[in-house]
A and B are shown apart, each in its own frame.
Chain A
């Protein structure tokens, strides 16, 4: 069975600080996909990134970056120079399908508050 753990329930940082959200996953499969979603106060989940198990390259998109380490089963998410608009609940998720297009197993989420 697969499992995703987000140990940080809530994080608060002052605007412009960097912040890292942790994600640890468990699976015995060798082919899987990892995702991050953002859930702002409006409630709608917003897709941020999809990563397959064979691609351990880190990725950067603007102020966002992701660090995937198979050795520690982690897929951490860093926001650089945080802004108030980054305040949201962030979910890490895992899919065991060959293409990542079947059911997602989500973690319990990390509530991020950016203090102006």
Chain B
């Protein structure tokens, strides 16, 4: 049983560019979550999906951020017109909607905006 995978692991981009990250959850997991973690802080919730439906979005998710999970499997998180404040680790997690409910995290994508 493979874990949650995320690609790329690292991304360096110039301010104003668009970036897209991918998350592949554990295969039988219905729910998929995105979090953002800045240095010295705990992860902050961004959004989550149940199958292909986006059930909740944080106010942290500005109009420049969009997430999709078109077929209920992998998900993408796109950031348009990146800003230096977007530099962070973007974490993906997945879980079941039946027990056990724990969220299992991927290794993250570290974004650096120069």
Q: Which residues of A contact B (CB under 8 A)?
A: 4, 33, 35, 37, 42-47, 50, 91, 93, 99-109
When the two chains form their complex, are residues A99 and B42 in contact, meaning their CB atoms are under 8 A apart? no
- CB pair A101 B97 closer than 8 Å: yes
Contacting A at CB under 8 A, from B66-114, are 89, 91, 93, 95-97, 99-108
Asked if B41 contacts A47 (CB within 8 A), the reply is: no
B residues contacting the other copy or chain, number (CB 8 A): 28
Within 8 A of A (CB), among B17-55: 31, 33, 35, 40-45, 48
With A43-B89, A45-B91 already in contact, the answer to whether A104 and B108 are too (CB < 8 A) is no
- The docked-state distance in angstroms from the alpha carbon of A47 to that of B43 is 14
Q: Which residues of A contact B58 (CB under 8 A)?
A: 103
Closest-by-CB residue of B relative to A45 is B105
